[in-house]
Amino acid sequence: MIIHVVQPGDTLHRIGTQYGITLKQLMEDNQLSDPNRLVVGQTLVVMPSQNFHIVRPGDTIYSIAQSYGLTPQDILGANLHITNPSVVRTGQRLNLPIIKRCKDLIVNGYCFPDVDPETLNTSLPHLTYLSIFSYKVLPDGGLAAIDDSPTIREARQVFVQPKMVITNTLEGGKFDSGLAHTVLGSGDIQYALLNTIMATLEEKQYNGLDVDFECLYPEDRENYNTFLERARNFLHSKGYTLSTAIAPKFTAGQPGLLYEAHDYSFHGQAADEVILLTYEWGYLYGPPMAVAPIDQVRRVVEYAVTEIPPEKILMGIPNYGYDWTLPYVQGTPARVISNPEAVEIAYMNGADIQYDSVAQSPYFHYADRENRKHVVWFEDARSIYAKMRLVSEFNLEGVSYWTVNDYFPQNWLVASSLFDIVKR
């Protein structure tokens, strides 16, 4: 795998020739509809058949290694004739080592029940689990019904395990602290909810449960832990699994409604898998910034592995970006966009895509037809690669995408180049 960043003057034909692949393959791999619609700074994932590199002007051992997802030591180990690593000649042929994939990867994808079937079917081959979002809990321990049967059938047909998701959300999707307090504060309601869950799991033929309770009052921490312990016992007795979704914390005592009731250590004991919600630093109503800056994601993972076994952790990855109108006004929502849509916006507005080396995320500025300024942050092959390397570095079990309602082909090219995706 090569991640090529489009430079001024690049064409798809020239890029294909450079790496020894056809224009057709380059377009199909990256799901490009028009070979002439390139943006400076855009990434293309190249899957070459050759195992060598011809040095171009400006190449260094470091830049070559980065392009192929290798280290400089990998390159030097395959080219023992190089006596001075700081000197490579234009036109020189360098061998590229074949590096074994890092490990098996568990991949969860959240989706909504109304996901477009064609879009879903393009992502399902790359998933271990499909978590259908969501059953809303009711104050009496019931669940608001959703039309999830068609999505469950689609998942099962390609050996993807469907997961039932429960949330303390209201209509409109807002997490409600008071609702969770009512449910978690009563043992009778907890048991009523668990019985409803078990009946739904059996009726709908789910493989497991994902509990995503957010914005809990701090005083509900122990009640939440009690509920998870009861849920685990109920589920395991019938052969089902339990996963939980938890806020991105840096420390055990991190203050705030999002964090205080989420007990990392207890979740690590009670759940079979724990999903870190490592996104939304840049969020819908917040100031413009990367959605999942790698330096902040790293901080969460560094803390998480001290409390939760790494082999239980799925690291969250956003499959979306935001388009903010400038100047930013607090409380004004950004526009949610897909990652391919971000590149299209850049193309339509003549913007070059930049890359933040600290956040390891792409962004760009543009002015719309009304001359309003905008900034867009999103994900590309480089930012996905950085996140996947973090998974490998900390030996995590896998990743979890919010959401797979949009197809992002470059993501799957990067993931499958580094890992073997597990089917259970």
E strands, 140-201, are 143-144, 161-167
**Which residues does 118 contact at the CB level (< 8 Å), separation at least 6?**
none
CA dihedral sign, ordered 356, 358, 361, 365: negative
Question: Checking phi first, is residue 345 left (phi over 0); if not, alpha (psi -120 to 50) or beta?
Answer: alpha
Closest CA to 16 of 397, 8, 2, 246: 2
Which of the residues are catalytic? 214
Calpha distance 341→320 (Å, rounded) = 9
Answer whether 422's CB lies under 8 Å from 128's CB.
Answer: yes
Closest CA to 405 of 96, 119, 100, 3: 119
E strands, 213-338, are 241-246, 273-276, 313-318, 321-326, 335-337
Task: Tell how strand 419-421 and strand 103-111 pair up.
Answer: parallel
Angle at 414 between CA 336 and CA 96, to 5 degrees: 150
E strands, 190-349, are 208-212, 241-246, 273-276, 313-318, 321-326, 335-337
Closest CA to 409 of 6, 37, 44, 69: 44
Task: Tell how strand 208-212 and strand 161-167 pair up.
Answer: parallel
